[in-house]
Structure 1
Amino acid sequence: MDLLNMIKNAGVIGAGGAGFPTHAKLTSKAEYILLNGAECEPLLRVDQQLMAMFADEIIKGLEAAGRYIEAGKAIMGIKGKHKEVIAHMRERISALGLADFMEVKELRDMYPAGDEQVLVHELTQRIVPEASIPLKVGCVVINAETALNIFNAMAGKPVTETYITVAGDIPRRMTLKVPVGVPIRDVIKQSGVENLDDYAVIDGGPMMGPLKTGVDGHVTKKSKGYVVLKKDHFLIRKKSVNLNQARVINRTACEQCRMCTDLCPRYLLGHSIQPHKMMRALSYNIQDIHELQIAQLCCECNACELFSCPANLHPKSANIYFKKKLDEQGIRYQPAQKEYQTRSAREYRLIPSKRLIARIGLSSFDQPAPMTQVEFRPETIEISLRQHIGAPAIPVVNVGEHVQKEQLIGKIPENSLGAAVHASLAGTVAEIKENSIVIRVGSYV
């Protein structure tokens, strides 16, 4: 079996991102394969620890993917502040005889260093065109946990676990290996918070992660972190503002200072995105929707909304508002440029991570979250059939059927983009819902 089918059968997807199926990403040839080890979201501590613990496995997974797409070079991007991890990875690359093919490059400690278009430029000096993907400039990007999962797939092990940092205003900050499908509430309880009535939970990093409406969900393959904060924290109040509220606030208060644009990471790469113009369009009720297509270039990194705006307004929400309007009319942005250059002021407008963390009120919580061994014993697990980009998986098990750990329970629909789904714990299928499979596990069977 070739590597692509191993990855496909193992259900490997982008870990911690949008969940794009990895086998689909590796179908094209590229000059570079890049490892995203930036982990630029504040408080999250997964990738740096995985690289320290599983250096050889990650290196071999990255190498295998790079050789498969016939890349001439593999580059790992790791923030320079992680000196021990960088030294360890370089030593292991050399020891494995891969120094001619693979190298580590140090990234600056800025946000969003992990945005794949920013990463591509920082590591190769190339600029991904507007509304395009890294492959357009000869690059394929995967993150550290995805490389580890590729290595495991080569040994026939499917993706049934993920690594999650639990951080924020909690007694114990930690990083855990969690079976897919475990209740989120069980994960958060490990941090020492039993009663969540006074808390709110951000699903993912504090910048891009959405505010959860409740904690009754379940862990997926792409779960990367949970940030737990008191409900009156600035970040929670900010993320609680809905799109309509944001639109009204923006219309009444924007002073057109254009800081949202001047510090926008994609604008600084030479793209046409200009959030201040979207704010202006709200104020003047501009109807020519074609003039607003640049909103579709927003990567929703939230730098404008949580860092740049001096009045604490919602420029990202303005972009999202017009994105929705454009989608409703079936309008897609068509780039006019063919050549791109970074803005001349880019080097002076990068957002330092420490300043960002202070700006969003997380400095006191910016502490280690060490890898902690925990054995989860849930009564049931609920495994989503659509924890990836593409079509949901199709169940291949029946209610009442006993399944083993790592057994295939959901397959990719014929001729569709998708990812296979496997049981993370042994048990009995209790229910098959429209988009998930519930398994009763352990002594509860």
Structure 2
Amino acid sequence: MGLPRFPGGLSLPGWKPAAAGIARLPLPPVLRVPLLQHAGLPCEPCVAVGERVARFQPLGRVPAGALGAAVHSPAGGRVRAIEPGPTALPGRPEALHVLVEVETGDTDEAWRLPPLDPLGTPAEAVLERLAEAGVAGLGGAGFPAADKLAAARRLLILNGAECEPVVASDAALVQHHAGDLVQAAHLLARCCGAGDWVLALEAGMEAAIAAARQALAAAGEEAARRLVVLPDRYPAGAERSLILAVAGLELPEGELPRQHGVLVQNVATAVAALRAVRDGEPLVSRLVTAGGPGLRGAGVWEVAIGTPAHWLAKAAGGWALEALVLRAGGPMMGTVLPDAEVAIGKTTIALTAWPAPPASPPRPCIRCGDCAGVCPARLLPQQLHARLQARDRSGALALGLMACVECAACDVVCPSAIPLSAGFRAAREAEREHRFRQRQAEAAKQRFEARTARLEREAEAQARADAEDRTKRLSSAAARALAKARARRGDAGKDGGGDGRGGAA
């Protein structure tokens, strides 16, 4: 039986660093820890400038009732500043950062959380721990793990597919921590009620596949049931492509995996969740691949959150080019960084450096159709581009704009060098903003209508109360008047009777 497939996609060169193990990157003199490393609202700082902090101590907490993930200090030191700066999080260009002057390194762990039993701790307590430990998705948009696991699912897919060139962080994690990953799979499946789980890897990840098979066998699991090997084809790791390849489920446009009982979780996120529960470790570091032609070397490092990009680049041998493009991630979907001071965040799976592209304008579309052939979402990028150029928003939406996974496969094959994915990304962001404002307006309208209805109910209730009060007052006044009249008649009768008796005497 052949490998599971999905529509479209590309075969890309690997350019993966040699599997030489995982190096631990020394801490930089100053950590720039972003307070926004996740989907949702930024954390609010809970430390002050000049304050001493310890490793694992919270630096930022999620606003009450908001979606987000707590942020912790990767090392002991002193808070130098709390200031805004650019982030590596896709679509979120700037956020507040807590700058920590590193003093005590990793030795002070007074803020480590109490360990919990991964097998026996109730699911609700596990979710509370994941929120407390700041565990968020270590790939994609960084959705908070506790919120993602809260909904009941039937199938858990652990995503270890790294189909972009250079990126090898998840492959290294599976190769060296496969036993932890199997434990994490059982923990997460229990939390979300999934009756089944699978691990998805790519065919080219031979060392990781071998390690996964060995760990599954040691845990008494059947590799044929738990391990799915995907073709080395980009974008195998995209959520919708992965679900189609693994579960045979093609999600309709606008519907989410949770609506079909499926949860996709990155393998590094799963291991971070296990360590937060079993070892009491808040999320303060992650595996990061450094590489690309703009760097002299390549490899996979365990990097403290908040480490500036240039510190990791130095460990990789330094810059090999003067004019380059620095990305948080791979060359296809990675976020372009404005400079090398940007810090490694929870979602930074790689730091890659590439030659700056030549400044040449794109040529007119020749309608070759190559872009449609590689689109994993089965869209028509050429027609989408034409609609957007004509400012036809409704036409672009009708052609499935919001189903685009922003994989940029269409950019690679376009002979006219049109930046198709950039246009689609901007249009999708604008549409999401439009829908957000619509929801805000609708919510404001509902609040206004609810307030108006409440005020009308209160006014009617007050009117009824006033009427009842008036009736009571009138009844009381009438009763008092009647009583007085009766009293006067009684007094008059007594007076009249006394005079008669006196006259007779």
Residue 23 (structure 1) aligned with residue 134 (structure 2)? no
Alignment of 1:360-399 (within 5 A): none
Distance of 1:135 and 1:83 partners within structure 2: 31
- 2:174 is matched with which residue? 51
Aligned partner letter, 2:410:
C
Alignment of 1:165-244 (within 5 A): 165-169=289-293, 170-193=295-318, 197-231=322-356, 236-237=357-358
- 1:300 is matched with which residue? 406
List gaps (5 residues or longer) in structure 1. Answer: 268-272, 334-445
Aligned with 1:111: secondary structure?
A: coil
TM score, norm. by length of structure 2: 0.58
Distance of 2:276 and 2:188 partners within structure 1: 11
- 1:85 is matched with which residue? 208
Work out whether residues 44 and 225 of structure 1, in 8 Å CA contact, stay in contact via their aligned partners in 2.
yes
Task: State the 1:279 CA deviation.
Answer: 2.1
Work out whether residues 275 and 318 of structure 1, in 8 Å CA contact, stay in contact via their aligned partners in 2.
no
List gaps (5 residues or longer) in structure 2. Answer: 1-120, 439-505
Instruction: Pick from 418, 423, 432 the counterpart of residue 313 of structure 1.
Output: 418
Aligned partner letter, 1:79:
E
Aligned partner letter, 2:401:
A
Aligned with 2:184: secondary structure?
A: helix
Task: State the 1:314 CA deviation.
Answer: 1.8
Q: Note the alpha carbon deviations across 1:253-296, whole angstroms, 9 max, x for none.
A: 012222212220011xxxxx32111222255x254x22221222
- 1:326 is matched with which residue? 431
Distance of 2:429 and 2:215 partners within structure 1: 47
Going from structure 1 to structure 2, the CA distance change for 1:198 and 1:21 (only over 3 Å counts) comes to same
Task: State the 1:325 CA deviation.
Answer: 4.9
Distance of 2:144 and 2:192 partners within structure 1: 15
Identity of aligned residues (%): 26
Work out whether residues 93 and 102 of structure 1, in 8 Å CA contact, stay in contact via their aligned partners in 2.
no
- 1:254 is matched with which residue? 365
Distance of 1:30 and 1:331 partners within structure 2: 27
- 1:38 is matched with which residue? 161
Residue 278 (structure 1) aligned with residue 384 (structure 2)? yes
Query: Which structure shows the higher helix fraction?
Result: 2
Work out whether residues 256 and 280 of structure 1, in 8 Å CA contact, stay in contact via their aligned partners in 2.
no
Distance of 1:24 and 1:93 partners within structure 2: 28
Query: Which segment drifts farther, 316-325 or 135-144?
Result: 316-325
Query: Which segment drifts farther, 169-178 or 82-91?
Result: 82-91
Q: Note the alpha carbon deviations across 1:218-256, whole angstroms, 9 max, x for none.
A: 11111111112233xxxx44xx89xxx7xxx4xx60122
Residue 149 (structure 1) aligned with residue 272 (structure 2)? yes
Q: Note the alpha carbon deviations across 1:151-182, whole angstroms, 9 max, x for none.
A: 10112111000111110123221110011111
Alignment of 1:2-13 (within 5 A): 2-13=125-136
Task: State the 1:137 CA deviation.
Answer: 2.2
- 2:82 is matched with which residue? none
Work out whether residues 46 and 165 of structure 1, in 8 Å CA contact, stay in contact via their aligned partners in 2.
yes
Work out whether residues 81 and 109 of structure 1, in 8 Å CA contact, stay in contact via their aligned partners in 2.
yes
Query: Which segment drifts farther, 256-265 or 19-28?
Result: 256-265
Task: State the 1:320 CA deviation.
Answer: 2.9
Going from structure 1 to structure 2, the CA distance change for 1:183 and 1:196 (only over 3 Å counts) comes to farther
Distance of 1:325 and 1:48 partners within structure 2: 35
Task: State the 1:54 CA deviation.
Answer: 0.7
Going from structure 1 to structure 2, the CA distance change for 1:102 and 1:11 (only over 3 Å counts) comes to farther
Aligned with 1:266: secondary structure?
A: coil
Task: State the 1:122 CA deviation.
Answer: 1.0
- 2:377 is matched with which residue? 266
Aligned with 2:344: secondary structure?
A: coil
- 2:285 is matched with which residue? 161
Q: Which has the larger radius of gyration?
A: 2
Work out whether residues 59 and 147 of structure 1, in 8 Å CA contact, stay in contact via their aligned partners in 2.
no
TM score, norm. by length of structure 1: 0.65
Aligned partner letter, 2:266:
N
Distance of 1:57 and 1:108 partners within structure 2: 25
Aligned with 2:229: secondary structure?
A: strand
- 2:199 is matched with which residue? 76
Distance of 1:172 and 1:229 partners within structure 2: 13
Going from structure 1 to structure 2, the CA distance change for 1:321 and 1:55 (only over 3 Å counts) comes to closer
Going from structure 1 to structure 2, the CA distance change for 1:304 and 1:10 (only over 3 Å counts) comes to same
Question: 4+ residue runs of structure 1 moved beyond 6 angstroms?
Answer: none
> What's the Cα RMSD here?
2.5
Task: State the 1:55 CA deviation.
Answer: 0.9
Going from structure 1 to structure 2, the CA distance change for 1:278 and 1:7 (only over 3 Å counts) comes to same
Aligned with 1:131: secondary structure?
A: coil
Q: Note the alpha carbon deviations across 1:8-52, whole angstroms, 9 max, x for none.
A: 111111102211101111011111100101111111111111111
